[in-house]
Chains A and B, each alone.
Chain A
Amino acid sequence: MTWRRTTAAAGMLLAGAIVLVGCTGGDDPEPTGTAATQGGTAQGATAGTPTGSTAAAPAGVVSGTFPIVGSESGTVDVSIESLTVDGKTLELRAWFTPHDSSAAGDPISLNTMTDDTLRPSLNDVNGLAQYFVLSDTGQEWETDTHDAAAVDGTPVLYQAWFAAPESHAQTLDVQLVASWPPFENVPVTYAG
């Protein structure tokens, strides 16, 4: 069987693109994992209850509502689904649900929701350590924040991987965006 070189190249690129899209963390409709129910939100942040959404984010262990950075009226509900250590790494799973009527039905990317300032850190106030997204390959091991997007009122999953805490911390503070208040004392689950 033969085919023209241009056809083959286009086909390979298309196939590659499909594979790559499949790897973005932003479109996982059925997250696994068990959401704990403890805790809640504090003054200044309200529990995330997407309005007008066609799909809701999992309950998560803690949630809050924050202003969309750079937007006059938009907000985003953020629900931390889990911090899970498996082997040498810790996975953060968080759902972002934007509420911005000015988007006129267009998808709102994680970058837009955070004005390109989504740089999570996990802070261990007992172990005196901070953890940033693994990046020593030159790539940050996280969901593509440019392409992962959701329309008004629907959730999108953000995942990031960190080094497992050396202190075997039971809770960590999660700082997602510098201008947002952090999630404090988020429980860490250890696989196995």
Chain B
Amino acid sequence: MRAEWRAAPAAIVLVVALAAPAAAADDDLTLDDFPPVSDARLGNVLSVHHYTNLDGVLVAPVYDPDPSITRLADVDTEDDETVVTLTSDILFAPDSADLSSKATARIGDLVADVPKGAKVQVDGHTDSVDSTAHNAALSKRRAQAVADAIGAARPDLHLSVHGYGESRLKVPEQGDDIAQDRATNRRVEVRYTSGDAEASPSPSASDRPAAPTGTLGVAPAPSWADVATEATFKVPGRDGVTLRVGVEPLVVRGRVMQLSVLLEPTSGDEMQARDVRDSRWAPTLVDTDNLVQYSVLSNTGLAWTNDPLGGVTLAPGAPARIVTTYPAPVADVTKVDVTLADGWPVLTTGVPVTVAGS
């Protein structure tokens, strides 16, 4: 075993050290020169390795699905003020301020209990990607779209609309989780005083039965024939790198949902997966029918993927597959929108969701 091999140099040092006093006397070595084998020696660190950490994050991470599930609205009430934070990635397509009919209806539900005639402030916010002017304008358009939906449902409310762009980030955008940080900052906040707001229904992931997990076997090798959608584009920020990218239908297995993305450079030298992205590979999924967003299971600090180190080789001639794992859907879903990475083209609207074995 590897542990035994690596112990060998240390064991040699120990033997030499134990024999050293005798060397001062003469060059002859007898059995008397060696100390007796004791229980302590039989149990020392060079002979026995005690593996006691059986539930640490590096050996057995257990994932909590809830942090990876973002619903349309997060309601926070403090003193007399209620703040309903709406997730822009669920409401809007990138750079868009258009609301779907389902989103419009859900926003109306969210303000059903606001006191009659109340003053309601609608504030739009973006991340720090793109220019300040662009972000200010986008946030204002999105806030106005939400205000219009509120006004349609509750014409009695007095609405004021603001677009703050990137000037009021909710969290700093930095580190390996910068993509998640940016998503958190993309939001529309609805504020009003007094009254009790009700969050949208929030079924728990554990409320639903586990899906089948399929049968014993080896997962299929990656093939372009199996993708649901694909595109070829120049990778932003990577001069001369053109990638063919495909997304396979999502598969629900047990209590997880798995996304497989195929990547293949169209030419040039081979590279590693981490060479084509700025941060941890963490595509997000949006169920636009139920207005729920899913992110990679990662509350342990590790992201559940087949390639946590980004070491998979990308080379022309054969696709490589990166699999990321999410909580199983909290509601019936047949398709989701997939956002692969900030700045990458949108090519993944309406990706089918299947159940293992079906």
Contact = CB atoms under 8 A, between A and B. Distances in A.
A137 B1 contact: no
A41 interface: yes
Contact of A137 (B3, B5, B22): B3
Contacts of B31: 1
A3 B29 contact: yes
Nearest to A164: B54
B42 interface: no
Contact of A61 (B4, B58, B216, B254): B216
A23 interface: yes
A62 B219 contact: no
Contacts of A139: 2-3, 6-7, 49
B11 interface: yes
Contacts of A143: 1-2
26 contacts: A5-B23, A41-B218, A44-B221, A44-B222, A45-B221, A89-B54, A123-B325, A125-B256, A126-B213, A126-B255, A128-B63, A128-B297, A129-B60, A137-B3, A139-B3, A139-B6, A143-B1, A144-B1, A163-B55, A163-B60, A166-B55, A166-B60, A178-B312, A179-B313, A183-B218, A183-B219
A24 interface: yes
Contact-residue bracket for chain B: 35 or more
B306 interface: yes
Interface of B: 1-8, 11-12, 15-16, 19, 22-23, 27-31, 45, 49-56, 58-65, 210, 213-223, 253-256, 297, 302, 304, 306-307, 309, 311-313, 320-321, 325, 327
A185 B59 contact: no
Contacts of B254: 125-126
Contacts, number: 200
A40 interface: yes
Contacts of A159: 1
Contacts of B312: 178-179
Contacts of B8: 16-17, 20
Contacts of A132: 58-60
A68 B94 CA distance: 41
Contacts of A131: 59-60
The 5 closest A-B pairs by CB, nearest first: A44-B221, A39-B216, A139-B3, A125-B254, A136-B53
Interface of A: 1-5, 8-9, 12-13, 16-17, 19-20, 23-25, 38-45, 61-64, 69-70, 88-89, 117, 123, 125-137, 139-147, 159, 161-164, 166, 171, 175, 178-179, 181-187
Nearest to B357: A185
Contacts of B221: 43-45, 181
B62 A127 contact: yes
B58 A135 contact: yes
Given A2-B28, A125-B254, A126-B255, A42 B218 contact: yes
Contacts of B29: 2-5, 8
A86 to B, nearest CB: 13
B60 A42 contact: no
A110 to B, nearest CB: 11
Contact of A171 (B63, B213, B222, B304): B213
Given A40-B217, A166-B55, A185-B214, A5 B223 contact: no
Given A117-B311, A182-B219, A184-B218, A126 B210 contact: yes
Contact of A184 (B27, B52, B213, B255): B213
Contact of B214 (A129, A161, A181, A184): A184
A70 B325 CA distance: 27
Contacts of A175: 306
Contacts of A63: 218
B218 A130 contact: no
A163 B1 contact: no
**Quick one: which of A40, A134, A144, A178 has the most chain B CB within 10 A?**
A178
